[in-house]
Structure 1
Amino acid sequence: MPPEERINQQIPVKLVVSNTGSGTARNVVVTDPLPARLNAVGSEGRVMRYEVGDLAEGQSKALLFMVSSAHTGTYKNTARAVADGDLSAQATDETIIRKSQLALTKTATEKQYAGRNVDYEITVKNVGDALAQNVVITDPVPDTLSFLSGSDGARLVGNTMTWDVGNLRPGASRTVKARLKSSVTGTVPNTAYAKSDQAQQVSATDSTLLVGIPGILLEVVDSPDPLEVGDMGTYTITASNQGNAPGHDVRIVCETEDNMEIISASGSTAGTVAGNTVTFSPVDVLPAKQKAEWNIRIRAKTPGDVRFTTRMTSRELQRPVMETESTTVY
């Protein structure tokens, strides 16, 4: 038998029985009981038996069969030949069956803002006891991500990142990296795969939590400006969520100076007038790319360079957003 082989490969076993005596060996029979977990190819029997017949002086007969095993280890195989007249002989040989086995690990950026880059590190290791040949790592890019770059000669085949690792000796490993760009919020899993000519494919998955942020723009516009004493005017307040996540508990409070009288307040939520101040009920949720709008009607009372101040707060804002609009009253 060959000194080494791999699992599930056909291994040739060659038995040679020879008559080294000075007469004819009659009714020669060769038997070979196979060791446990070593199986004959094409036969369910555990003992290989060959009726050779007679062997003349100096004559030899070669017998060949194939075995295989799905298990690693050292296999010692002993065959025995017998003939009439209590003639017998035996011979032993052994083979070591090895296998390459891949292990794969993957780490991803744990948490990132949507629209930012996500980094991956993938490590393949040969944890078997045989050479892993032509190792390849593949990593399909999720639909919500886009490829930016990869280390170690990464190729983008279709929408799959591919690394040709080559051969890995037992215990050897290789680490590659990739950078993708996110586009949406949510948890995005990503699975990488590794395989070789002899080893079974393995996979590893890690996920990134992509979070969004509300970006609420506060705008205040007066109309008309300038304003004559006694005339009516309108302040329009707009809160536009330009971010990629909803804003919560958005509150608007407006205040004017004594030069003006607040007549009414209306809009996306109800407003309460108290003197020179209007407080609007909160917007519970302002979705991304949506806006809320309010209008305050005023009457000009006395001339001056008047300031109209709006304050916006929300659950996500750590500080109020202030917007001041100037109006000339004459």
Structure 2
Amino acid sequence: MISSMKGARMAAAILLAGIAGAMGACETNSSGRSSDLPIGVGSGSPSFLYKPSQRAPEHKPAVKVPTEPVKKVVYKNGCDYQPNPGPGMSVVGMPFPTGDRATSALLLHQVMPEQVRRGAEFNYQYHVTNITQGTLQNVALTLESQSNLDVLSANPAPMTGQGGTVWSIGELGPCETRVIDVTAVADSVGSAGDCVSVSYNNSLCAVLNVVDPELTIEKQVTPKVLKCDPITITYNVCNPGTGVASGVVVRDTLPAGLTVNGSRNVELPVGDLAAGECRDVSVVAMASGTGEYCSPASAASAGGLTAESGTPCTVVVAPDLEIACNARDKQYINRNAQYDFTVSNTGDGVSANTVVSLNLPAGAEVVSASAGGVPSQGGMAFQLGDLAPGASRDVSVTLKSRVAGTIGVSATATGACADPVSTQCETLYRGIPAILLEVVDLVDPVEVGQQTTYRITVTNQGSAADTNIKVTCILPDEEQFVSASGATSERVNGQEITFSPVASLAPGAQASWDLVVKAIGENDVRFAVELTSDSFTRPIRETESTNLYE
């Protein structure tokens, strides 16, 4: 709805003063300013004009009032504006539209010379002041009439037409003054003057805002994660338009295998978005397996606005561990056996904090371990750190056993976000017999006709029992068998004496026999002994020299 208020227009008759000085009774001081500005009543009478002096001025060239472009003068201390004329200048003024300053909106002043020479150009000014605290619109100064006064030029220039001569001032701010400079000439001796009025026309306008809210949405996801790590999904929703986007909601249907709190459907209230406002909302998702997961998201408002994001993807990877063992199948007791383990990451994700743990059985003695191995709860652990995809690491431990039997070493490899894997190596520890055959004659030398005893001792110096141990003695021709005693019975066949086999001889055990012979001839003889067993099929031979004399 538009209403307008038009200011009434009132004409003021302003006459240029002649030499006769018939310009009213108000006088000014010598400075040219009166203490109170006389106010006219709009009758056209010059009685409201005032003169700076009653003294007739000296004849001199026409006074030039300095001219400038349209001036804006704003007074901070209210609207009590008055021009400041120079010597020889006079000022007249009137409030418009009522003639009463208390009820008027505009104050118009003319600043003119007291007298001018006929035919000589002179300058004068109009001062238009807004005496309200509001802005006045469409302010215009109109030259209503003129007598013996020809306007040669003005700054700013007026518009002249059928409606007369009008200066369009436009808007005039509170307590603001505009100055119009005029150059004129009087062609006749006597009086010269003009009548001007000032008006304004304010309008009341009602304005409403026309807005256009918009929606945009950007979806951001963690680009690459391990399968056991959370995936952060952030939705950035913006209103780049004007006005409020109300009741905004974000929706997203996640791809199969990706869930938020067990569900693939995401719905997040954002609320109202002011113009230019952006807001982030986030969820945390988990993947059930490896692969690439992609999906777009959408945003909608209560007013029907919609937007759709791009289709960002997150790649889910995982480590995949494998472990292998290499060790000898058999080893002798008290001998070293090395167990080698290789752990590999065949997956597409890093295995962080990778550890290989060995479980060592009772009876196994640790001889050494590869770098990084430390004892751990009856076994040994190797801290390998991060194992990149396609990488592998080797660890080893060296053991020995003091008893026969199978020694099994198990190993387990673990890593962050990797399933544990295990393996086992077994080594059969066995003993080995070692037979020491000793023969000694208890009497040496031996006189013919006398006896001596050969003591035969078999010792198992090995780590395993030997079985079916058979001892055979060969007598030289100069000796004759007398008797035998010992671990087993003997069988005599001429000069060959064979003892019954010893079924088993444990490690560290001994079997001995005493064989008594008689010297029947003189000679340096050799008593021979031969041993065979299940472990030693090639005979073990030992001889003992004996000196037989007469």
Q: Shorter-chain-normalised TM-score: which range?
A: 0.7 to 0.9
Please say if 1:35 is aligned against 2:255: yes
Whole-Å separation in 2 of the counterparts to 1:75 and 1:289? 72
Please say if 1:64 is aligned against 2:295: no
Whole-Å separation in 2 of the counterparts to 1:35 and 1:270? 90
- 2:342 corresponds to: 123
1:23 Cα deviation from its structure 2 partner: 4.6
1:271 Cα deviation from its structure 2 partner: 1.5
Match of 2:252, SS? strand
Conserved in 1, the CA contact under 8 Å of 2:250 and 2:269? yes
Conserved in 2, the CA contact under 8 Å of 1:256 and 1:308? yes
Please say if 1:259 is aligned against 2:478: yes
The letter of the residue matching 1:245 is A
Whole-Å separation in 1 of the counterparts to 2:417 and 2:402? 38
- 1:105 corresponds to: 324
Please say if 1:315 is aligned against 2:534: yes
Structure 2 CA distance for partners of 1:231 and 1:187, relative to 1, 3 Å: same
1:254 Cα deviation from its structure 2 partner: 0.9
- 1:209 corresponds to: 428
Whole-Å separation in 2 of the counterparts to 1:294 and 1:175? 56
Match of 1:171, SS? coil
Map 1:164-313 onto structure 2 (within 5 A): 164-313=383-532
Map 1:10-49 onto structure 2 (within 5 A): 10-40=230-260, 43-49=261-267
Which one of 284, 295, 305 corresponds to residue 87 of structure 1?
Answer: 305
The letter of the residue matching 2:388 is R
1:197 Cα deviation from its structure 2 partner: 4.2
Whole-Å separation in 1 of the counterparts to 2:546 and 2:447? 11
Higher RCO (CA 8 Å, separation ≥ 6 residues): 1
CA offsets 1:289-311 (integer angstroms, 9 cap, x no match): 22222222333333433322110
1:104 Cα deviation from its structure 2 partner: 1.9
Whole-Å separation in 2 of the counterparts to 1:50 and 1:61? 12
- 1:6 corresponds to: 226
Q: Which one is further off, 88-97 or 141-150?
A: 141-150
Whole-Å separation in 2 of the counterparts to 1:72 and 1:176? 29
Conserved in 1, the CA contact under 8 Å of 2:481 and 2:518? yes
Q: Which one is further off, 234-243 or 166-175?
A: 166-175
Taking structure 1 as the reference length, the TM-score comes to 0.85
Structure 2 CA distance for partners of 1:17 and 1:156, relative to 1, 3 Å: closer
1:51 Cα deviation from its structure 2 partner: 3.8
CA offsets 1:236-274 (integer angstroms, 9 cap, x no match): 222111001121221111121233322333322222112
1:4 Cα deviation from its structure 2 partner: 0.8
Conserved in 1, the CA contact under 8 Å of 2:255 and 2:293? yes
Match of 1:30, SS? strand
Whole-Å separation in 1 of the counterparts to 2:508 and 2:288? 59
Conserved in 2, the CA contact under 8 Å of 1:190 and 1:206? yes
The letter of the residue matching 2:544 is E
Match of 1:278, SS? strand
Conserved in 2, the CA contact under 8 Å of 1:238 and 1:294? yes
Q: How many pairs are equivalent?
A: 327
1:59 Cα deviation from its structure 2 partner: 4.0
1:103 Cα deviation from its structure 2 partner: 1.9
Whole-Å separation in 2 of the counterparts to 1:219 and 1:70? 76
Match of 1:36, SS? coil
The letter of the residue matching 1:98 is V
Larger Rg: 2
Unaligned runs of 5+ residues in structure 1 are: none
CA offsets 1:132-190 (integer angstroms, 9 cap, x no match): 33434444555544444445x34443675554434332112233455444544333222
CA RMSD of aligned residues (A): 2.8
CA offsets 1:52-111 (integer angstroms, 9 cap, x no match): 444444444432221122421111133233334543323232211112232222212343
Whole-Å separation in 2 of the counterparts to 1:163 and 1:56? 59
Structure 2 CA distance for partners of 1:141 and 1:45, relative to 1, 3 Å: closer
Whole-Å separation in 2 of the counterparts to 1:110 and 1:274? 46
1:320 Cα deviation from its structure 2 partner: 0.6
Whole-Å separation in 2 of the counterparts to 1:218 and 1:262? 21
Conserved in 2, the CA contact under 8 Å of 1:307 and 1:324? yes
Whole-Å separation in 1 of the counterparts to 2:230 and 2:385? 25
Q: Percent identity?
A: 39
- 2:28 corresponds to: none
Whole-Å separation in 2 of the counterparts to 1:120 and 1:291? 36
CA offsets 1:191-221 (integer angstroms, 9 cap, x no match): 3343344434433322233333210111122
Match of 1:324, SS? strand
Match of 1:62, SS? strand
Whole-Å separation in 2 of the counterparts to 1:265 and 1:207? 48
1:317 Cα deviation from its structure 2 partner: 1.6
Conserved in 2, the CA contact under 8 Å of 1:154 and 1:161? no
1:324 Cα deviation from its structure 2 partner: 1.0
Whole-Å separation in 2 of the counterparts to 1:154 and 1:84? 64
The letter of the residue matching 1:291 is Q
